């Protein structure tokens, strides 16, 4: 029997996550847990069943087996993750990987991952927990990505790239091989990264240059 999965977060990202789960066919979506949407309303065809703070009772009432954090912002995903484990320390998180995703040999995948249509994860890569890959992202061989990081649509990396936790590689970025991207760093859309980038900065341009520093939790998306 398929496990019953709940989505945490009802923003635009949830629409894509639901689509992946539907196409994959391994889980039954019970509903969405969201902090703002009206309980009982429907988002993307699924009922908003309650709030995160009531997770314990929601699990019992809805026979929830597992969950997926359907939030695009890296730090927000981390906060929700921590809150869930405070309530249910052994709560099970699952991956949502579109059937069209290509995964090479000797790839190590974490938990709580989202990989949208057309992504390529080449041999030897190591993917940390709760990372998100948007449509068509390409990660070349032997690269590493830290927990709660994200790679947006159209990103292409060279081999042996290392991306730190909480960092976001946004739309259409190109990163040459053997580059190190620090933690909590954002690479702006369309950038070309030719050299290592430190922690806690925003960079963009071709070639990419440091624009300013950024703190944990600083927003970089228009929606979650």
Structural domains for the chain? 3-87 (3.40.50.20), 96-213 (2.160.10.10)
- What percentage of the chain carries pLDDT values higher than 90? 94
Q: Exposure of 212 by Cβ count < 10 A (0-12 exposed, 13-18 middle, 19+ buried)?
A: exposed
Q: Give the dihedral sign, CA 14/15/19/25.
A: positive
- Among 39, 44, 37, smallest CA distance to 22 is for 44
pLDDT of residue 223: 54
pLDDT of residue 143: 98
Which residues, in sequence order, are CB contacts of 8 under 8 Å at separation 6+?
32, 33, 34, 52, 67, 68, 69, 70, 71, 80, 84
State mean pLDDT over 70-87. Answer: 97
pTM of the full structure: 0.94
pLDDT of residue 116: 97
> In the structure, what pLDDT confidence band is assigned to residue 217 with cuts at 50, 70 and 90?
confident
Tell me the pLDDT tens digit for each residue of 80-138. 999 999 999 999 999 999 999 999 999 999 999 999 999 999 999 999 999 999 999 99
Q: Which residue has the higher pLDDT, 218 or 122?
A: 122
pLDDT of residue 221: 76
pLDDT of residue 119: 98
State yes or no: pLDDT of 181 exceeds 90: yes
In the block, tokens 């908003």 appear at 48
Distances (CA, A) of 5 to 11, 44, 128, 186: 17, 15, 21, 31
């Amino acid at each position: 029997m398929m496990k019953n999965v709940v989505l945490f977060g009802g923003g635009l990202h949830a629409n894509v996550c639901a689509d992946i789960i539907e196409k994959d066919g391994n889980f039954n979506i019970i509903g969405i847990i969201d902090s703002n949407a009206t309980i009982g309303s429907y988002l993307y065809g699924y009922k908003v069943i309650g709030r995160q703070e009531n997770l314990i009772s929601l699990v019992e009432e809805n026979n929830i087996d597992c969950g997926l954090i359907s939030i695009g912002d890296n730090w927000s995903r981390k906060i929700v993750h921590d809150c869930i484990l405070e309530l249910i320390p052994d709560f099970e998180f699952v991956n949502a990987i579109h059937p069209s995703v290509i995964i090479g040999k000797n790839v190590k995948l974490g938990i709580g991952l989202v990989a949208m249509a057309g992504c390529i994860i080449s041999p030897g890569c190591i993917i940390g927990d709760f990372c998100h890959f948007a449509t068509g992202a390409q990660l070349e061989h032997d690269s590493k990505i830290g927990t709660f990081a994200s790679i947006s649509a159209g990103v292409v990396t060279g081999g042996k790239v290392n991306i730190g936790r909480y960092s976001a590689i946004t739309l259409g970025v190109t990163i040459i091989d053997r580059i190190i991207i620090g933690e909590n760093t954002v690479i702006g859309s369309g950038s070309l990264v030719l050299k290592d980038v430190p922690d806690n900065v925003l960079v963009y341009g071709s070639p990419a240059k440091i624009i300013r520093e950024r703190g944990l939790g600083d927003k970089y998306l228009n929606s979650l």
